[in-house]
Structures are given as C-alpha cells and as structure tokens.
Structure 1
Amino acid sequence: MNDEQRYKQGLEVRTEVLGEKHVNRSLENLNDFNQDFQNFISRFAWGEVWSRPGLPRHTRSLVTIAVLLALGREDELRMHLRACFNNGVTKDELKELILHCSLYAGLPASNAAMHMAEEVFKDLGIAPEKVNKD
C-alpha cells in the first residue's frame, strides 16, 4: 500500500471511529503549518495502526482510553471517550475500565476521567441514572 492509499484508508477509519464532524473540522482547519502532521496522523495512526487486524476496534478504544487516562492527556481522552461508542464500547465497560485504571494510573487520574466521562455522557444525551442514597 502506498502513502496515498494508506492516507485514504486512514481517513476512512478515522471518520468511522471519531465521526465525520470531528474529521471534517480537522480537514477544514488545515494550513501550511499543520497539514503534514494531519496527514501523518491519518496515514500512520489510522491507516496503519488502527487498521491492523490484530485487535478489534472495541479493544483498541478501551486500550486507548486507558493509556490516555494514565498519561493525563485530557483533550485526546475526551475525544476517545466520545468516540468509543462508535466502536461498541458500553457505559458499563467504561465504568469498569476507569475503576481498574485507578489501581495502576492512580485515583486522581481516574477520578478526573470519571467526571470527564459523565460530561461526555451528558453531551451525548446518555447521562447515567440517579441512584437512591439508601
């Protein structure tokens, strides 16, 4: 596969995972400073790594969220929390992932991710249900 084909494949995968709105916004904001970087992201991250057959996208989403949580990369984490539903990740899986990460990435990082996930849920209209305090 040549670079142009890899870019095209990457753009397709990137759009399927992150959504057309996000990708279109990135493309609309291309300029002579960021164009090479955006091309690299589409070719390498999405056209090469996310396109590999070794892991399903569902698993890739969970791994990506765990790593971003551990590294404290909030902007990317928010983006992937929003996008993971395109790959079949459920709210319950996210809850368990964040809880599990608290053991290895720390409570503050997981607490921040939990709040961020709740904000994303609210934005997507899938806010968690209230529970009784009893």
Structure 2
Amino acid sequence: MTDSSQTRARQLIGDFAPKLVELTDGVLFGDIWERNELSPRDRSLVTVSSLVTSGSTEQLRGHLARAKANGLTETELKEAIIHLAFYAGWPKAMSAITLAKEIFEA
C-alpha cells in the first residue's frame, strides 16, 4: 500500500534514489513547473510533445493526465500527437496515441 501524501516520485523510487526524488520534487515540480513565464497549460503541451518525440511513454502516462488537469482538451492532445507523427516519427506517435486512448477512456 502506498502513502497518498507522498509524491509519485517518492512512491516509485524514494528508497532507491532519494536525491533524484529531491530534485524531481524540489527543482522540477517545485521550481520549474511553478515559474510564471509559461502557464501550466503551455508547460504541459511542451512536456507532452517532448515525451512523444523522445518515445518516453512511461512518463507520458502521468503527463497526459496532468495536461488535462492543466486545461488541455482531449482533442488538443490528440491533435498534438497527430502533428508530431510527422516530426517525431510514426511509431512514436502510434505508441503515444494508443496510450492516450487508454487514458482518455479510463
């Protein structure tokens, strides 16, 4: 059973790599994601695009959910993945859209 008061990073790797959790929680989500120069919506679109482009589907799962919470619609996220198929590669887009379908239908 996981402690819901812990961050996802702490739940996944806290005992194994505490420094990486510290950087993830404190720097990435505590500082970078909180900067005012980009909205959370825009940061999510950039992040989802980067994860699709790099084929990082494991992290994409959580960031698609975060993107929806940050105001991106299902249609916008699907369109971004379709657009990226021509820049990131068809297999990466197909993997991403399959994952997105799973998340959006849940």
TM-score scaled by length of structure 2: 0.85
Amino acid at match of 2:88: A
- Tell me the alpha carbon deviations over residues 35-92 of structure 1, each in whole angstroms, 9 at most, x when there is no partner: 1110111111112211111110001101100100010111101111122111011011
Q: How many residues align?
A: 102
Amino acid at match of 1:42: D
Amino acid at match of 2:68: F
Q: 1:78, 1:69 → 2: CA distance?
A: 11
Percent identity between matched residues is 33
Amino acid at match of 2:104: F
Tell me, which stretches of 5 or more residues in structure 1 are unaligned?
1-20, 124-134
Amino acid at match of 1:109: K
Q: How does 1:30-109 map to 2 (within 5 A)?
A: 30-31=14-15, 33-109=16-92
Tell me, which stretches of 5 or more residues in structure 2 are unaligned?
none
2:31 alignment partner, SS class:
helix
- Tell me the alpha carbon deviations over residues 90-130 of structure 1, each in whole angstroms, 9 at most, x when there is no partner: 0110111011111210111111111110001122xxxxxxx
Q: Which structure is larger by alpha-carbon Rg, 1 or 2? A: 1
Of 84, 87, 93 in structure 2, the residue corresponding to residue 110 of structure 1 is 93
TM-score scaled by length of structure 1: 0.69
